[in-house]
Structure 1
Amino acid sequence: MAHIPVNHPARPLYRVLSGLIGLYILVFGVYGVFLTWGDGLFSREGKWVLGLRTDLAFALVSVVFGAFLLIGASRRGNLGHYMNLTAGAVFLVTGILMMAVLQTSANILNFSMSTVIVSMLFGLILLATGLYDKVGTDEHAEDERRRRNHPVAEAHR
């Protein structure tokens, strides 16, 4: 059985990564809302913001998710861990779903292939940051390290 590392030494780096992704998404969303404000909510006009195609609905959702990720990155406890895992899964599922409807009228968020790729990349990075951002007591971290390094010895106890 796989174990999620507790108190990983690179935890601050992972929090910075998720914070940078959150900041990019927030800036993308705010600029997208500014650029698409007069358009319809699900407009297909093809406005581009920071290299990604957007509409007003996608820009508004990006503002919410960017703020969500920044809040998660600023938390020192396991809240950020769970928020990153959730956001990573949401980004991956959204990327796959939007890729499936890319050339149809069901592409309500006005995704392009570059947006799908960025969504999948962000999803993978957020999943990784969520996996290595778990916080626990020193005893819990030591038990986890011992189980990971000596799984057979722990199973016979």
Structure 2
Amino acid sequence: MFNDLYQLGIVHGYAFITCVILVGYLLALSVIDIERFQLPDRLTLSLLWVGLMLHALFTPQFLASSVIGAAAGYFCLWAVYWLVKLVIKKEGLGYGDFKLMAALGAWLGWECLPWVAVYASITGIIVFILRFCFYRNKGEIPFGPFLAAAGGIIYISQQMNSLADPRCIFCVTF
């Protein structure tokens, strides 16, 4: 019984601390991207490494998914970047977006990346349309905050699922 209580405390504490770390990074990155259209390497890359290190130290059973997620996250947005650049001759994403998606892949695992991409894209499109309808503004909008919001919400929902079942730290129930 004491072992179960101890394990429950570790899992709850771990979930809370990792959520605070991730949300703190994502909020900082979102504010910077909104203000400067820039996602600094020192934040995106350190977020990536923190995610990989946490998996290596505390949940090694998910490390492979984390590493694949980091690589897949970067490559997928890199491919979209070049596709957009070839088709419309403009840059649709920045390199910081690739790195942020890689960091989210490190935290969430490759299995969640399609959801991050879909949620971020749909939200970004809705904001762009609303901004155009109300302000007639067709200017650029940063994609980082949408990636951050989608990734943060998915990560927190993972952690809430894990609190319902303390044996699973990173339960994904999509």
The TM-score, its normalising length taken from structure 2, stands at 0.31
Question: Which has the higher relative contact order, 1 or 2, with Cα contacts under 8 A spaced 6 or more apart?
Answer: 1
Whose helix fraction is larger, Structure 1's or Structure 2's?
Answer: 2
